[in-house]
Structure 1
Amino acid sequence: MNSTPKGQHPTSSQARALAELNDRSREIFRQIVDSYLTTGEPVGSRNLSRLIPMTLSPASVRNVMADLEQAGLIYAPHTSAGRLPTELGLRFFVDAMMEIGDLSQEDRSRIEAQVRAGGGQSLESVLADASQLLSGLSRGAGVVLTTKQNTQLKHIEFVRLDPARALVVLVSEDGSVENRLLDLPAGLPPSALVEAANFLNHRIRGRTLGDVKGEIAARRAEMERELDVLTARLVEAGIATNAGSGESRQLIVRGQANLLEDFRAAEDLERIRQLFEALETQTDVIELLTRAEGAEGVRIFIGSENKLFSLSGSSMIAAPFRDGTQKIVGVLGVIGPTRLNYARIVPMVDYTAKVVSRLLESGR
C-alpha cells in the first residue's frame, strides 16, 4: 500500500487509542477495511455514512476518521478524500476484529479430493497439488516449504569425478534423484567409494537421511570397526552433504500469475516484479516460511512486518503440517496483496495443512 506508515507495533499512545475505540469508531473502521479488502479503493465519508448501520452525517464520519488516522489505523492515499487502512490497521483488524468464517462443505470436499487425489504419488507431487489448490482457491500464489531430508531413501552411490571430488547420488523411494558434489579425503582409494555406498545401502532403504545420520552418529564405534578411517570419513561426509543443509529445503510455488491481476498500475507492477524476484531467489521466502513452521496454527505476515514484503506490499497466510510422528515437516500457505480475504483464506490454509498432515500420518 502506498504511503503506509512503517512500523507495525503500536506505540503506547496508539495502544491506548485502540483499546478505547467505541462501537461507532470500530464500525466505521470495519467498513473502511471491508471496502479495501473488497475493492482495493479508498472510501470517503459520504459513502461511509450510507454504509454504516447507524445514523451519522458525513461530517460526523469525518471526525471519527480523523481520530482513526491519528491512531495510525487509516491514511489518505495521495490527495484522495477517501481513506485506506494502514498495515498497522490491518494488523489490528486481523488480531482484534476479524471474524473467521468456517469453510463451506463444498470447499472442504474440494480440498480433501484434490489433496488426496495425489495420495499414491510422490510427496513432492502431493505438495505441488496442495500448492496449486491453494492458488486456485485464493487467487493468490500457493507456496509450500518442506525438506528433502524427510524423503524416504532407496539407494545411494558415490561416483568419482576426479581425484579430489565425487558425486553423491541419492535415489528416493518416490523416484526422485538428488546429486551433490563432495570433496574427497586425500589418498582415498577407489574401493572406498564402493565400500561406503555398500555400508549405507544396508541401512538407508525406507528411512530418511536424518534417521540415517542419527544412527551413524550413535554407532560411530561400530562403523569404525567395520571400515577403515578414510572410508568412515567418506560415509559421514556423504550424509552430511545433504542432511541438515540449507540446500535440502524445497520450495514449491504455484500461481504467481494470479498476483498480476491485483497489481495493475505501473508502480504496482514494479512492486510485483520485486516480489517475483524474491520468489525466484527463494532465500527470503524460505526464511519467512521457516518462521511459520514454529507456529501452533496459522501465521499471518502483513506488508512491511517482514523484509520479504516490505517493498511489494504483500501478505502471507501460512500454517505448518506434520508427519505420522507429529513432527512438523513443512509449511504451506498463500501469498497475495495486502487486501487478501483473510477471513476466508485463514481457515482454507488451516484445513489444507490438516488434510496434508492426515495424509502423511496415514503413510499416503
Structure 2
Amino acid sequence: MRSTLILYSGARLDLPAELFLSPNIQGHERLRIPSYSFFINHPSKGRVLFDLSLRKDFQNLAPVTVNRINNPRLEWKVSVPQDVPDTLIANGIELHEIKSIFWSTQHFDHIGDTSKFPSSTELVVGPGFTKAYTPGYPDNPDSPVKSADLKGRRVIELDFDSYQEPISIGRFKAFDWFEDGSFYLLDVPGRSVGHLCGFARVKPDSFILMGGDCAHHPGEFRPSKIAPIPKDLTPLHVAVHSKQTSVCPGNIAKKINTKSDIERSPIYKAAAMFTYDVDKSQWSVEGVQELDARENVLVIIAHDGGMLSVLQQAKGKEHLTFFQKEN
C-alpha cells in the first residue's frame, strides 16, 4: 500500500524570529518550531525520505554551521532528543530499506546525518547543489555539508530542464519520481540554491505539499488574495465535531497584521539574511499560495508548529505519523 507519513523525532529549534521573518511582531520575537521529515512508502518501488530533520549530534555538523549555533550573540537554541534514523528503527523500519533521501535544502535542520544510512541509499538534491556546496567539509572549509554526508553513495542532482516531456505542478517544474503520478519533486527556487518541495498523492485527488523551507512560518503565504481570511474564524481549540459553535471575528488579525489589505495579504515576508534570492523566493511563495488555496492540497512546511498538535491528536488513531520513541 502506498503511504506518506509525517515523521517527527522531537527536534526543536528556538530562534530569533527577526533573522527569518519580517516584520518583527511584538509577542512573536522567537521562532519555537519543530522540524519534520516525510516517509513515503511505494508498494513496488521502495521507501524514500523527504528531508532528514536534524542530526542528534549537531555539534558534529560542518564548522560553518556549528559556529553559528554556538554564537551567543545569535541566541540559537537546538534540541534533538532523537534523530530520524532513531525514529525509523523504533517504528520497525530498518535503514537499509530506505532507497532514496531527498534534501529540500542544504540547511542543517534538513540534512540530518546521511552517514547513518548504508551506501545503497542514494541522495537526491536540487539544481545547482553540486556547484554551490561541493566538495564538502573539510575539503571545502566553508561548505555547510560534510564530505562524509556524500561519500560512497550515489548523489543525483536533478535537472528539471532535461526532460523531453516537461511536467508542471502549478507554476513549478516537476519530476515524477516513481513515474506513476504518486510522488513529484518540485523546483521551488529562492530560499536556497536548488531548493526542492515534495508533492505526494495521498488519495486519488488529494495531495500533500512538503514545503521544505519555502517558508519558515505559514504566515509567509497566508492569508492570500486567493484564500483570504474569512469573516468568522473557528478557534483552534474547538473540535471539528464539537457541539460548541464558538467563532471569533476574522478582523482580529488586524492586531498583528498592519497592512492595508490584511485579509488578503500574508502576515510575514522572508527576511533577507537567510534567503538566497529574495525575488525568486517571493515568486515561489506566490506559487505555494496558489496550491494552498486548493481544497485538495495540504501544505506542510518543515517547521509548521501549528501542525504538531494535530499530529499528536492523530497519533495512534491514524497511520499519519511516526513519533519519537517514548521513554
The structure with more strand, counted as a fraction of residues: 2
* Higher fraction of helix: 1
In the superposition, the TM-score normalised over structure 1's length comes to 0.20
TM-score for the superposition, normalised by structure 2: 0.21
